[in-house]
Amino acid sequence: MRQAGRYLPEYRALRARADGFLEFCLTPELAVEASLQPIRRFGLDGAILFSDILVIPHALGLGVHFEDGQGPVVEPVRDAAAAGRLSTSALAHRLRPVWETVARLKAALPPEVALIGFAGAPWTVATYMVEGGSSRDFAAVRGWAYRDPVGFAQLIDLLVEATAIHLNRQVEAGAQVLQIFESWAGALPGEEFRRWGVEPVARLIAAVKTAHPGVPVILFPRGAGTTYADWAAESGADVIGLDCGVPLEWAARTLAGRCILQGNLDPVALVAGGAALDAAAERILDRLGSKPLVFNLGHGVLPHTPSEHVDRLVALVRRWRG
Amino acid sequence: MRQAGRYLPEYRALRARADGFLEFCLTPELAVEASLQPIRRFGLDGAILFSDILVIPHALGLGVHFEDGQGPVVEPVRDAAAAGRLSTSALAHRLRPVWETVARLKAALPPEVALIGFAGAPWTVATYMVEGGSSRDFAAVRGWAYRDPVGFAQLIDLLVEATAIHLNRQVEAGAQVLQIFESWAGALPGEEFRRWGVEPVARLIAAVKTAHPGVPVILFPRGAGTTYADWAAESGADVIGLDCGVPLEWAARTLAGRCILQGNLDPVALVAGGAALDAAAERILDRLGSKPLVFNLGHGVLPHTPSEHVDRLVALVRRWRG
């Protein structure tokens, strides 16, 4: 999950130095500093690049902006003709600031802190592009996929191509691990989750592994529900990120033998703090900690999270690890 | 799912006759007519009571209103002290219009059309009460449950009690089947889904079955994901409603031997119509139709659904049934 954010006063001060959120992400000086802030404050084992999954639609030539408190707004792509007008011709030019951020970040980080690059999965990025932003029912993107699967596949294929370039360039700039966010896996129809979700991600991971065979890939299919096991078995990911709704016993029984697990502390438990936080964290360590585990949250840090609760959590996990 | 709605012109005309949505639900003359409209138009096998899950907070004394296009607004209950001020003393007075609607509806329906009553599950109704409406992250309700599980349990227990009364009175008024909507099963933390989800629903179903042993209960734990099998095994429901994200093969393999299934056509496929609709409906009939099946949608009818697509779907299912 994004480690930096509004819950940190130093982040809020830094954020005030850029007008738009996209500009903030695309200014290496600011994005490097945002990526480093949580590492300095909490001494975490891994640093995640500060960026956004919507740099890809921006790089494909679409207007993208973020309204405060409203979420992202993307110039919508509603049919095959509109998808056909998208192009990767300016991709390298528009994504270069992200790759430069990765390179500067790699140089700035202590060698023992792993640098994690990331991108959105094709389906998830497509939902923003087709809906024009966030959505409650995903009716536009699902509707297009039902009505015109051939045309929709063109958009998905373009996203696989662009995202593979983006991830590979992050590795070349110094990222040691990659994470793919399928944040809207839960919006995939049960009969279409392979076609629009798992298969494009598998192609993306294969493209990354072909270029960089050793790089570990974390996949976070948030809300995958009953299909979590299929994502783990068929995507080619090395690590599967669990959302907060996945019971630990189920994960231990069904997934733990198949891949490394990451997650899944409820960010609301991190807001609650105290004994509730300790109990929630200890349960994860008890039930998943006998196998390799990337301890993490099951969703992003909430803005009103007290940073002392993060200190407490980090100390607890460090004590457990010994 | 609610059968009547904005996709029907006769519904929009009827809706204009009441100011607020809650008033509309609580006026038997209007609610009976709304319940009958889709039966008249489509000749369906079952009629669902036109009402809302938020009649329960209203009946417990909270302010509830619906803003057009904004969703419901509920006077929030944020702690045990506020929950302690709620009372069932006016429950029968405030819910009587719903029970009267059921009785009038039963008298108006042809005997071969089954009448389905319903209520929200305790957790789902609690989310609206604690968040004060819909929510993106459910941080308030989850936070209370982490910080003060004893206090939160009082609210859940009160909801079990009130909802049991409401469902039993619906059966006594003529409902032949009951449906329980756990619309926010997907917001239950993976380590808390039994305590706040399955167990309260199991107590509710037990209370209904004690009073009315023969009444079939449909449970719709939307977004239950990996826990769908636990809901089916532990709730005591006769029928489990599948959301649109549940793959049919998984449902056939995991759930179909254990309970009757209901669902799960994607309402977006109903908007798409044509061959995409036929294919989606036929897949459900092919994969789940060899066992008892309540053919239904996996979520509510979308407002921009062409009613001819519903005609087409009903004809397809009738042809299949022969």
pLDDT at residue number B255: 95
Residue A155 has pLDDT above 70, yes or no: yes
Residues 200-239 in A contacting B (C-alpha not used; CB under 8 Å): 223-228
Of B162, B6, B186, B255, which is closest to residue A224 (Cα–Cα)? B186
Residue B267 has pLDDT above 80, yes or no: yes
Residue range B63-91: mean pLDDT, rounded: 93
Active site residue B52: yes
Q: Are the beta carbons of B186 and A245 separated by less than 8 Å?
A: yes
Instruction: Calculate the alpha carbon distances from B147 to A278, B130, B138, B160 in Å.
Output: 12, 14, 14, 21
pLDDT at residue number B282: 98
Active site residue B6: yes
A268 contacts in chain B (CB < 8 Å)? 137-139, 142-143, 146, 189
- In A, minimum Cα distance to B250 occurs at A226
Q: Catalytic: which of B7, B11, B128, B228?
A: B128
Among A226, A284, A302, A309, the residue to mutate for chain B (most B Cβ within 10 A): A226
Q: Are the beta carbons of A250 and B276 separated by less than 8 Å?
A: no
Residue B307 banded pLDDT, cuts 50, 70, 90? very high
Q: Are the beta carbons of B247 and A137 separated by less than 8 Å?
A: no
Structure tokens at B151: 């206090």
Residue B56 has pLDDT above 80, yes or no: yes
Residue range B97-110: mean pLDDT, rounded: 98
A83-130 residue pLDDT tens: 999 999 999 999 999 999 999 999 999 999 999 999 999 999 999 999
pLDDT at residue number B1: 62
Looking at the complex, report in whole angstroms how far the Cα of residue B294 sits from the nearest Cα belonging to chain A: 18
Residue with tokens 């008024």: B173
Residue range A200-229: mean pLDDT, rounded: 98
Among B191, B249, B265, the residue to mutate for chain A (most A Cβ within 10 A): B191
Beta-carbon pairs below 8 A across chains A and B: 132
Q: Determine contact: B166 vs chain A, CB below 8 A.
A: no
A253-268 residue pLDDT tens: 999 888 999 999 999 9
Q: Determine contact: B151 vs chain A, CB below 8 A.
A: no
Q: Determine contact: B188 vs chain A, CB below 8 A.
A: yes
DSSP H/E element including A219: strand A217-221
Closest Cβ opposite residue B193 in set A142, A247, A276: A247
CA B30 to mean position of chain CA atoms:
19
Dist CA B73 CA A63 (whole Å): 34
- In A, minimum Cα distance to B243 occurs at A190
Q: Determine contact: A137 vs chain B, CB below 8 A.
A: yes
What are the start-end ranges of the E strands in B121-257?
Answer: 177-182, 217-221, 239-241
Residue range A148-152: mean pLDDT, rounded: 97
Q: Are the beta carbons of B227 and A245 separated by less than 8 Å?
A: yes
A283 contacts in chain B (CB < 8 Å)? 191
Structure tokens at A63: 């207007």
